[in-house]
Amino acid sequence: MTSRSQRQLGRSIALHLVLTPLALVWLFPLWMMVVFSTMPDNGIFSPGIELLPHDGFLDNFNNLQRDTNFVGAIGISVSVAVTYTFLSVLLTSMAGWALARYEFLGKGVVVAIILGTITLPYAVVLIPQFIMVARDFQLANTWIALIVPPLFNSLGVLFMRQAFSMMPAELFDAARVEGVKEWRIFLFVALPLARPMLAALAIILFLASWNNYLWPLLINSQPGAMTAPVALGTLIGLTKVSWGGIMAGAVMLTVPMLIVFVLLQRHFIAGIAAGAVK
């Protein structure tokens, strides 16, 4: 083994020695969430520290389902997140394409406004948005209210603008010379080239919708229209908190997303890297 290979091996070992404890620190709360989901409420706050799962997960889940119809809430969350992700990716891609490839009056102002919206805290627009949707449009307790108001995503627009700006303009000019319509250039030339960036953006938007709590809590007051995070929040009462049910629901919401992220992390990292380098 050469000295260079030995140095690379030493750096690799040192890096793993540093990152492995950090990974364990990050994973420990997730593991304890799994352990707590298998314990009764009185066992979660027992003096001893339990590090191994028990056999009470089904009991906690049955109590959760009885109190909240959690399976139905998960179905609503999946439907909302999938619809929101598809529409938001499409709209942000169209906006990014327009800002990257077309010249029009006020383009710089539009980009500046989009950049400005990133600096606004969500709490600033939350109440006006609620008043407009619930009072003016009378859309409270509807799927439209859950999906449409959050569709605009400033970071998504700027991300796709950067992705389309990286592509060679000659490719699109050649398609125009051949008589290809603009919408076909966007759908069948630009979007396939931006596939890694689209995958990364879709993962980010899906997770944002999946974990969204505050807006669904405000806009939907009917028990049958609750998303899964809101349904979990109903288990926290004034006199009683169903910790076992909350932990079981949290596991059901977290573990599938971790599995999806692990399976798609290659596409996610590739999309982020491709969109960040020009």
Q: What is the pLDDT of residues 204-220, one digit of tens each?
A: 899 899 999 999 999 98
Q: Looking at residue 132, what is its pLDDT?
A: 92
Name, of 77-86, 110-119, 172-181, the range with top average pLDDT.
77-86
Stretch among 104-108, 214-218, 264-268 having the lowest mean pLDDT:
264-268
Given a cut of 70, whether residue 238 has pLDDT beyond it is no
Confidence of residue 278 (pLDDT cuts 50, 70, 90): very low
Domains of the chain, earliest start first: 69-234 (1.10.3720.10)
3-state secondary structure the chain: CCHHHHHHHHHHHHHHHHHHHHHHHHHHHHHHHHHHCCCCHHHHCCCCCCCCCCCCHHHHHHHHHHHHCHHHHHHHHHHHHHHHHHHHHHHHHHHHHHHHHCCCCCHHHHHHHHHHHHCCCHHHHHHHHHHHHHHHCCCCCCHHHHHCHHHCCHHHHHHHHHHHHCCCHHHHHHHHHCCCCHHHHHHHHHHHHCHHHHHHHHHHHHHHHHHCCHHHHHHCCCHHHCCHHHHHHCCECCCCECHHHHHHHHHHHHHHHHHHHHHHHHHHHHHHHHHHCC
